[in-house]
Amino acid sequence: MAQFLAIHPENPQERLIKQAVEIVKNGGVIVYPTDSCYALGCMMGNKAAMERILSIRQIDLKHHLTLMCADLRDLGTYAKVDNSQFRQLKAATPGSYTFILQATKEVPNRTLHPKRKTIGLRVPDNIIARALLAELGEPLLSCTMMLPEDEEPLTDPYEIRDRLDHVVDVIIDGGWCGTEPTTVIDMTDGVELVRQGKGDIALFGL
């Protein structure tokens, strides 16, 4: 049975943030709010937890997983970005964007797209998510909280508990965060729009 933690969206309780992160550090899978849908997350280096997320979503790594990062310093550690790309990323973060980038060797190979060796990266504009990341001290390996039989992401924490209580370890109730996914931009070779979502594409001249 999952821990169900009601965390204030504007003033997260430090005790509950620490409790959630401790479970993640011990191999747990978390459901947490972002600025664009709820997300599933786990430690980047935990193979078993990653496989649980893939199983819940019924996807493979051809569907990019995302490193949810606290700030742009993490992006520079885990992705290869040049000065021009960094300026574009700085203008768009934090925000509802996922960027497909070439991964560095800091990212476990098993988490990458099997052929392209790319990873999704993003910096969320959500206080709870950023508190979790600050406490964890590294990115959360994440993907949208959407079940294979559904047409939209789950956004009601109580429904998430009803459906996933026995397959995840922590569910954070951080209030409503919508069902519109992130805008996905591939920056591995220029700037290519993969999916129009919540983030404004005008920032990238698209």
Of how many residues is the chain composed? 206
Distance CA 55, CA 148 (A): 10
Distance CA 204, CA 94 (A): 15
Instruction: Give me the domain span that covers residue 192.
Output: 3-201
Distance CA 5, CA 24 (A): 14
pLDDT of residue 76: 80
In a domain, 8, yes or no: yes
pLDDT of residue 206: 76
In the 3-class helix/strand/coil scheme, how is the chain assigned residue by residue?
Answer: CCEEEECCCCCCCHHHHHHHHHHHHCCCCEEEECCCCEEEEEECCCHHHHHHHHHHHCCCCCCCCEEECCCHHHHHHHECCCHHHHHHHHHHCCCCEEEEEEECCCCCHHHCCCCCCEEEEECCCCHHHHHHHHHHCCCEEEEECCCCCCCCCCCCHHHHHHHHCCCCCEEEECCCCCCCCCEEEECCCCCEEEECCCCCHHHHCC
pLDDT of residue 72: 86
In a domain, 183, yes or no: yes
pLDDT of residue 198: 92
In a domain, 206, yes or no: no
Give yes or no for a contact between 136 and 25, defined as CB atoms under 8 angstroms apart: yes
pLDDT, averaged in runs of 10, over the chain (206 residues):
94 97 97 95 94 92 88 86 90 94 89 85 95 96 93 91 95 91 92 92 84
Residue with tokens 């509950």: 16
Q: What is the CATH number of the domain that holds 74?
A: 3.90.870.10
pLDDT of residue 115: 81
pLDDT of residue 116: 85
Per the structure, the count of domains in the chain is 1
Distance CA 78, CA 67 (A): 9
In a domain, 80, yes or no: yes
In a domain, 41, yes or no: yes
In a domain, 51, yes or no: yes
pLDDT of residue 112: 81
In a domain, 49, yes or no: yes
In this prediction the pTM is 0.93
pLDDT of residue 196: 92
Distance CA 52, CA 152 (A): 20
In a domain, 65, yes or no: yes
